[in-house]
A and B are shown apart, each in its own frame.
Chain A
């Protein structure tokens, strides 16, 4: 588990944040609200005390999924970024939006009532690296690499780099 400040943000880079330990309950949540909010089988989240969360660029857009909870995202690219129970003293961030998601391993599961029955079997599926997929040409992957508009996995002084639009 990381012991130091960790940065993260959305895909396009319009929103950046940082969190500082102590990390609280890194988790996956299978509940249907987290599934739909993330477009995924489960939401991976890690909490920090509110005063250990800071915005470093841009602003979160908020969808209040119930009277109790706010979900933050980037309105320019859609990346799900935060989950906050308004009555708790914590802010949760989505682990995949951290610049180093490998560094935060979940320790608990929530929302078991929504768990997809075969979700535990996914890691046994056949798999390959991105550019091993022979359905697309090497040129296709080169075009993606050379025109990648994703913010890099570290803070930047200026973004997008040319000062223009990344879209």
Chain B
């Protein structure tokens, strides 16, 4: 397995990719097209030059959100993976699809015309407890049956003898 600077992929593991360059101008985009594409209040896009991006497993599916831009995703689990202009020099990966999303802090925000008013207060909301902290049995059932690909490359997925 080749060592890459950063790796990532979709939730189910059918699509994996690698970056051989540190993303530049990592940005939030609040525009309505990014919101709807990712089902969230904003997209976080991490651009690299196209030669530094490679698909290491499976194939990305694309939706042309306009004649100019396209959005890559996994058709087996839906994870939003990329945004690029086919005519452009770079391709952006969606931050949460990286195996270590905390390594690429954003530096700027775009699309402020459709920024949701409540977004700045989200991290002050109540809820400072881990997932199912009050229900260890449920936590165990989810973690022991998780079909999510691990946050590193794998030689084979799903593990031999199992179906995802």
Q: Contact residues of A with B, CB < 8 Å? A: 10-12, 27-29, 31-33, 35-44, 61, 63-69, 71-81, 94-97, 101-102, 105-120, 122-123, 125-130, 133, 140, 143-145, 147-151, 153, 167
Contact = CB atoms under 8 A, between A and B. Distances in A.
Given A10-B36, A68-B145, A140 B78 contact: no
Nearest to B31: A130
A33 B111 contact: no
Given A28-B125, A80-B78, A128-B112, A65 B66 contact: no
B145 A108 contact: no
Given A66-B146, A67-B141, A81-B78, 14 more contacts: A11-B71, A28-B125, A31-B131, A36-B97, A44-B40, A67-B142, A68-B142, A71-B78, A79-B37, A79-B80, A81-B39, A96-B40, A149-B67, A150-B33
Interface of B: 10-12, 28-29, 31-33, 35-41, 43-44, 61, 63-69, 71-81, 94-97, 101-102, 105-113, 115-120, 122-131, 138, 141-143, 145-149, 151
Interface centre among A97, A127, A145, A167 (most CB of B within 10 A): A127
B147 A64 contact: yes
Q: By CB atoms of chain B within 10 A, which of A36, A105, A116 has the most? A: A36
A66 B78 contact: no
Nearest to B61: A78
Contacts of A65: 11, 77, 146-148
A107 B74 CA distance: 30
Give the 8 A-B residue pairs with the shortest CB-CB distance, closest first: A78-B73, A73-B78, A94-B39, A39-B94, A127-B109, A120-B123, A147-B67, A109-B127
